[in-house]
Structure 1
Amino acid sequence: MTLRIAFMASNAPVAQTARAALIGRYGDVAPEEAEVVVALGGDGFMLRTLHLTQELAVPVYGMNRGTIGFLMNEYSETDLLDRLRHAEEAVINPLSMRAVDQAGHLHRALAINEVSLLRAGPQAAKLKITVDGRVRLAELVCDGALLATPAGSTAYNYSAHGPILPIGADVLALTAIAAFRPRRWRGALLPKTAMVRFDVVEPDKRPVMADADSISIMDIDWVEIRSEPSIRHRILFDPGHGLEERLISEQFA
């Protein structure tokens, strides 16, 4: 029995060429009618595809036509149906961000990898960190800080020397970016259920921006972040190359 597949591709010529070739071989349906979505591009496009299809509850299988492809499978035009039928599924929950800027406007966004706060001026940011209503760090002087999911722990979080988290771990990584005071503070592991709040200290003098999977908000006053269990992203991987194995392998690279 043929699977109903929706092929989605980034604007890169190599991705568009791959989409045309795959449609010619396997056909194509609208995402709303699909049993599986195949995303062609890099990790950035995979994240966009997951956001676009989150209301459909349909699994997404990525094939790398981009640069890094941590969330993608190897590209091949042959045996796609067999690969999809035998694929391993990983389910991840995004982070939900509420942010208020200095003008008092409320912004909302979802992030599959991480929510990051970054200084937006020449001076270091000053952040107050509260977890579940309790102030845990009254002042962090830094270039920024981020809260990452297990799926996103190998991305910006790992580059900032944060820990890689097992995909099934019910924890989030809170990681400082170039911390100046406390100089040796490297972050914390928090329960997945935690509500994390960042308040910007001296926002006029030390402006800060927030970013949730490339959705950027300038001149932040405060940000609240929590995991969103009601949204389940289903990602498919070839057998033996699932997200858990990739997270382990990354630590021995």
Structure 2
Amino acid sequence: MSSRRIHFTASDTEDAQSACKRLIHKYGQNRVLDADVVVALGGDGFMLESMHRFMASELPIYGMNKGTVGFLLNNYEEDNLQERLEAGKITRLHPLKMVAKDLAGKVTEALAINEVSLLRESRQTAKIRISIDDHVKVEELTCDGVLVATPAGSTAYNFSAHGPILPVNAGVLALTPISAFRPRRWRGAILPREAKIEFSILENRKRPVSAVADAVEVRDVSVVTVEEAPDISIHLLFDPEHNLEQRILDEQFIL
């Protein structure tokens, strides 16, 4: 079995940094350009940062939990890392592409691995028109906000907003309102991954709205479009007994 060339990266916590030093001493450190795999040490937030950081490299990312929850990470162990990397199973994710236009006409593009969310900025509720593939589906949603989640992100903010948990390979996206006031009975929708969603902000100066794609925020938006970026792939590497598909499935049965 050939050894994989590893690039280690770690969050800035003392525990993660200490673990990174021990692993580099044991397995060596390679530049990203020379590596076969990235090993990320931290929590889910750092794993999300690493996915954005190394997205363009197309290297598989193997996370080991040095944080709290560790939903996107494998268990931390220092021994047999090469064997674990060899036996790991790849999960491919596609991010969402957000294109947001603000009131000044500036256009901002950003990628989101978890979700794109629109959130009211003031004490007044937002009013948002929702179109799918150029067809108006919700004429006026009065709400605190609305979000579009990927399957990987469906267990995060989307689930907290009472959205559905989506299997990774289902080929769908979740469209979920956040504290909707009108229409009262609309609870969101499950959309095909090819759908293009457009949000038009009504009364946008009186009721300002911000758009957030993971860590990128655009304030005072007027129009936001969201669609999957099928040409961009993120490769996550999981131990066979801790694969992401099973974890998402299990989340639906946690009481």
Instruction: Give the TM-score normalised by the residue count of structure 2.
Output: 0.97
Name the residue aligned to 2:249: 248
RMSD in angstroms over aligned alpha carbons?
0.8
Displacement, 1:86?
Answer: 0.5
Q: Secondary structure at the match of 1:141?
A: strand
Name the residue aligned to 1:174: 175
Aligned residue pairs total 253
Name the residue aligned to 1:91: 92
Q: Deviations over 1:90-143 (max 9, x none)?
A: 001000010001111000000011000011111111110000000000100011
Displacement, 1:194?
Answer: 0.4
Name the residue aligned to 1:150: 151
Q: Distance in 2 between matches of 1:142 and 1:22?
A: 48
Q: How does 1:1-253 map to 2 (within 5 A)?
A: 1-253=2-254
Q: Deviations over 1:26-67 (max 9, x none)?
A: 101111211000011111111111111112111000011112
Flag structure 1 segments of 5+ consecutive residues without an equivalent: none
Displacement, 1:12?
Answer: 1.5
Q: Distance in 2 between matches of 1:234 and 1:98?
A: 24
Q: Deviations over 1:117-174 (max 9, x none)?
A: 0111111111100000000001000110000011111010011010001110111000
Equivalent position amino acid for 1:217 in 2: V
Equivalent position amino acid for 2:192 in 1: P
Instruction: Give the TM-score normalised by the residue count of structure 1.
Output: 0.98
Q: Secondary structure at the match of 2:97?
A: strand
Q: Secondary structure at the match of 1:172?
A: strand
Flag structure 2 segments of 5+ consecutive residues without an equivalent: none
Q: Distance in 1 between matches of 2:71 and 2:199?
A: 29
Q: Distance in 1 between matches of 2:124 and 2:67?
A: 35
Equivalent position amino acid for 2:180 in 1: A
Displacement, 1:187?
Answer: 0.2
Q: Secondary structure at the match of 1:168?
A: helix
